[in-house]
A = this chain, B = another copy of it.
Amino acid sequence: MPEIDKSQLHVYREIHEQPAVLARLLDEEQTSIARVAAEIKRRQIDHIVIAARGTSDNAARYAQYLLGACNRLVVGLAAPSLFTIYDAPPRFGNALVLGISQSGKSPDIVSVLAEARRQGAPTAALTNFADSDLADAADHVVQLRAGEERSVAATKTYTAELTAIAMLSVALVADEGRGEALRRIPGKVREALDAHAEMARVAERYRYMISCVTIGRGYNYSTAFELALKLKEMTYTVVEPY
């Protein structure tokens, strides 16, 4: 491990946990993901409403592109305050309602799933905690298995969320080639992390940056937003995603 500021120790460790987290997710959640895929097919679900905040909201943007382009599903992002500050929540109709939350504790995300259940809409949760309020409110729980998060910047949870969404996309089409590609992700992430020293050298140039712009398109649009969020949280730089 290179020399590193102590306050950054958790961030560094958790970034480097990613290959193990993603391998565990790919190993242990095939069954729960397959159940969500089966429910989508059985009910002929034509759109998915996602309730999420912050980092998980960025993962939801990835779902919008991936499930839209590969599975032809319309994916919308719920406005959670519709379920908390206004009287009448929207009717979900023939939607699957998916809550994404690291802790599974966010009350506004839980309230969207609780309302969906009251309306008889199928519900699913992506969370680290199978004993959380969010998991309780969901018919199907996919555990992210990223372990406890001690750093503010939830990188391992973000990549676990993207991977779980990709697993769902593959399960819906039962494409063995894409399934094989998914299983190569932990190794590819390990290779990327090996570039740490080179990245540190490149990053030096931006040490005194006070503002910047992050840009991404399609499948990378979500990560442009997530990178902006991370830079704002950790470096107090003004960052604008496009």
Contacts and interface: CB of A to CB of B under 8 A. Distances in A.
Interface string A77-110: 1110110011111111111000000000000000
Given A85-B218, A89-B72, A95 B47 contact: yes
Contacts of A76: 47, 49, 74-77
A94 B238 contact: no
Given A76-B49, A76-B77, A77-B76, A217 B91 contact: no
A68 interface: yes
A73 interface: yes
A94 B94 contact: yes
A120 to B, nearest CB: 13
A174 interface: no
Copies of this chain, how many? 2
A76 B93 CA distance: 13
Interface centre among A70, A79, A85, A95 (most CB of B within 10 A): A79
A69 B46 contact: no
Nearest to A88: B72
B90 A72 contact: yes
Given A76-B75, A86-B69, A46 B217 contact: no
A158 interface: no
A217 B79 contact: no
A68 B79 CA distance: 9
Interface of A: 46-47, 49, 64-65, 68-70, 72-79, 81-82, 85-95, 211, 217-218, 221, 238, 240
15 contacts: A46-B92, A46-B93, A47-B95, A64-B79, A64-B82, A65-B82, A69-B87, A69-B88, A72-B88, A73-B90, A75-B76, A75-B90, A76-B76, A85-B218, A86-B218
